[in-house]
Structure 1
Amino acid sequence: MQPILFVSHGGGPLPILNHPSHSDMLRAFAEILDYLHAHFAKPDAIVYVSAHWEREPVAITSAATPELFYDYYNFPPESYALKYPVPGAPKLAADLQQRLEAVGIEAVLDDSRGLDHGVFIPGLLLHPDADIPTLQISLQKGLSAERHLKIGEALQGLAAENILVIGSGYSFHNMQAFFGPDNANDNAKNQAFEDWILTTLAEPDNAARQHQLINWEEAPHARFCHPREEHLLPLHVCVGAAGDAPLQRSWSFTALNKRGSCHLWK
């Protein structure tokens, strides 16, 4: 049995470069790693849903030996020499395609697209041995909150098959605020949205929880925290995949002067 995990994966390769702005995030990831080791066996495979891939229809990486896609720019040369040589999972990819299409979500297999940094950065932090078969599912263009809950629901059986599902995004993703002057007003907006996330995920009724996530734009300062929602929607996929399972643990941290969070269901 595996959990469902949402991670806020930081700014590009900065966590792996041990950038001072991400020291608290690295502390949170070390705690997550300890928790995974203490409570769960090694997964047989890992399915990532990353904020950094949008396709119509939904796409699934299916290469037997996936390459890496260094989808960040203007970082030090060592950022582009990172390796994460995980095996792929072609049979699992085909199975996921069938599961998605069974609930009315068209899906295609892609054997050429590499794993982006929404996969290999948290992968290097949580599973650095790179020996667990790993694949990636795209977001669906249009970025419908309801649709991404549905994508998650198609993944509900994976945890019982010892397959770890990881939604990789960021609970706060306003690039201007990340790199602009630190100020109390922006920080208060950031914290209000983080509080809303925790309250929503702790909602015991799954239907009510999904209703709030579908209407996430009504949350405090929602569009300040997510001018575009691609980094939030992996959280929706996780909630859909978790089903009625309760939120088990959350971890908060500060990176680039803003609060972020990770969440686990089992």
Structure 2
Amino acid sequence: MTNSAFPIAFVSHGGGPLPLMGDVDHRELVDACVQLRQQLPDTPSAIIVISAHWESRGFAVTAQSAPPLLFDYVGFPERTYRYHYGAKGHPELALKLRSALATKHIALRLDANRGFDHGVFVPLMLMYPEAQIPVLELSIDRGLSAREHLIFGQKLAAVLPPDVLVLGSGFSFHNLPAFFAPKNTKSVAACADFNAWLNDTLVDPSLTAEARLNRLDHWSDAPQARFCHPREEHLMPLLVCVGMAKAPAQALSFSVMGYGAQHYLWL
């Protein structure tokens, strides 16, 4: 069990809209999203998504009643720019979070213009296609400090209502040149080495919460860390989730475009 009253999940959201397009290299990811969804509540009061695709100075949250979709990818078929996900926003909850986090000495900026990027609408279209649950998107801090995101997760967990669902949306492996280069045994093995370290860190019940946080604070010392994450923005939502949960996770492993990837779940 987590130290919070709400479920937390981290999803590796795949490449742009490819999971929604029937792409064969994302089939396992889609199946893992369906499997993950079966373990999550049907009707949380709100879904809070921390997206790797929104970087801001400090932390920010969407604060409008009906955010549009932000098609923040290029070079895909025209139909992928006509997706619809009609979930409402939750400006009242955004205001409450800002006030509550201020008491924890965390500034949360309200953004009344931001739409839901593909780090939000792709996993939600797979997991909650009915779009009946209000959604808030949270940014990551563009400084990309591991410690700051772990601390933010700890503070956020202390102020959230007990009936929300938290989704971190990033990617456990995010080396774009490697995805599109010819596969070789060295690069696939490098990904496997980092994945093994990540799973040991997040899943091993013998690790204390303090040891887990310390390992993630120094994630770049892990085997093949900088090959798997030349830039670490896709890890930051995961660190927020770990900061919130503290307890060990369950891992759902699969393959995307020839490389191993994970979703993680804390119930």
Which TM class, normalised by the smaller chain length? over 0.9
Distance verdict in 2 for CA 1:155–1:195, change over 3 Å? same
Aligned equivalents of 1:11 and 1:200: distance in 2? 25
Which residue identity lines up with residue 217 of structure 2 in the other structure? Answer: I
Match of 2:7 among 3, 7, 21: 3
Match of 1:106 in 2: 107
Offset, 1:30: 1.5
Offset, 1:161: 1.6
Match of 2:243 in 1: 240
Aligned equivalents of 2:165 and 2:196: distance in 1? 26
Please say if 1:215 is aligned against 2:218. Answer: yes
Aligned equivalents of 2:241 and 2:88: distance in 1? 23
8 A Cα contact 2:97 2:160, kept in partner = no
Partner-residue secondary structure (3-state), 1:137: strand
TM-score (ref. length: structure 2) = 0.94
Please say if 1:144 is aligned against 2:145. Answer: yes
Instruction: After the TM superposition, list the runs of 4 or more consecutive aligned residues in structure 1 that deviate by more than 6 angstroms.
Output: none
Q: Identical aligned pairs, as a percentage? A: 44
Match of 2:96 in 1: 95
Which residue identity lines up with residue 15 of structure 2 in the other structure? Answer: G
* Structure 1 residue runs without a partner (length 5+): none
Match of 1:67 in 2: 68
**Aligned residue pairs, count:** 261
CA offset digits 1:32-57 (Å, max 9, x no partner):
12222xxx352110101000011113
Quick check: 86-95 or 27-36, which moved more?
27-36
Match of 1:42 in 2: 43
* Structure 2 residue runs without a partner (length 5+): none
The 5 A counterparts of 1:71-220 are 71-157=72-158, 161-203=162-204, 204-220=207-223
8 A Cα contact 2:49 2:135, kept in partner = yes
RMSD of Structure 2 on Structure 1 (CA): 1.3
